[in-house]
A and B are shown apart, each in its own frame.
Chain A
Amino acid sequence: KAGVTQTPRYLIKTRGQQVTLSCSPISGHRSVSWYQQTPGQGLQFLFEYFSETQRNKGNFPGRFSGRQFSNSRSEMNVSTLELGDSALYLCASSWTHMGGGSTDTQYFGPGTRLTVL
């Protein structure tokens, strides 16, 4: 089975621009979560999507948004980029049953390194 894939792997943007990152989960996985990793704040949860619905959200401003498509692929968008948004953005997928409970492990993609100049 192919692992979680993220595109692009590297991205350079300037302040004020917006960016869209993509994540394709492992086949059969319907839950996709996004995390931001920075040297100062560590790993922080952004949001989780399950069956095209956001069901968990971290403490990030509204500039950070996401969506999930019917094939479980997910995108996250950051608008009006700030220098502090420079980070490694990690996506993780897991199998989750319809009841919403999750007993499975999250598997991570290689990440997208975003640099904001």
Chain B
Amino acid sequence: AQTVTQSQPEMSVQEAETVTLSCTYDTSESDYYLFWYKQPPSRQMILVIRQEAYKQQNATENRFSVNFQKAAKSFSLKISDSQLGDAAMYFCAYRRWEYGNKLVFGAGTILRVKS
């Protein structure tokens, strides 16, 4: 079974600084998807960024980028120019390539942004 591990229960960053959230996963499959979701206090899960495992290029969405290391099974999220609105719980998630939409989530990392 696939597992996702987020080893940082909580992180803090100063406004306008950069922070990196870690995620590792375990799978025997070669094709899959990886996601970062954000859950603010409203509890609404919001997609931050996604990565297809077959793509060597790291995904980027504005201030958010990932460092995808397939061999190491590592998928970290970098947030640049942190803003107060980035404060939330961040979840790393894995999904198989084919058939079905089951997401396997990590335990989450609480990100606090200091002004």
Interfacial chain A residues near B106, Cβ < 8 Å: 42
Q: How far is the CA of A69 from the CA of B46 in the complex (A)?
A: 26
Q: How far is the CA of A58 from the CA of B101 in the complex (A)?
A: 12
Q: Name the residue of chain A whose CB is nearest to the CB of B35.
A: A105
Main secondary structure of the interface of B (DSSP, over half): loop
Which size bracket describes the interface of A in this complex? 20 to 34
Q: Which residue of A45, A48, A55, A106 has the most chain B CB atoms within 10 A of its CB atom?
A: A106
Report yes or no: A42 in contact with B43, Cβ–Cβ below 8 A.
no
Give min CB distance, B32 to chain A, whole Å.
12
Report yes or no: B101 in contact with A111, Cβ–Cβ below 8 A.
no
* Among A14-22, A77-85, A89-97, the stretch in contact with B: A89-97
Give min CB distance, B1 to chain A, whole Å.
10
Q: How far is the CA of A94 from the CA of B99 in the complex (A)?
A: 13
A62 CB–B CB distance under 8 Å = no
Contact residues, B95-113 vs A (CB, 8 A): 97-108
Report yes or no: A105 in contact with B102, Cβ–Cβ below 8 A.
no
Chain B contact residues, CB within 8 Å of chain A? 35, 37, 42-47, 50, 91, 97-108
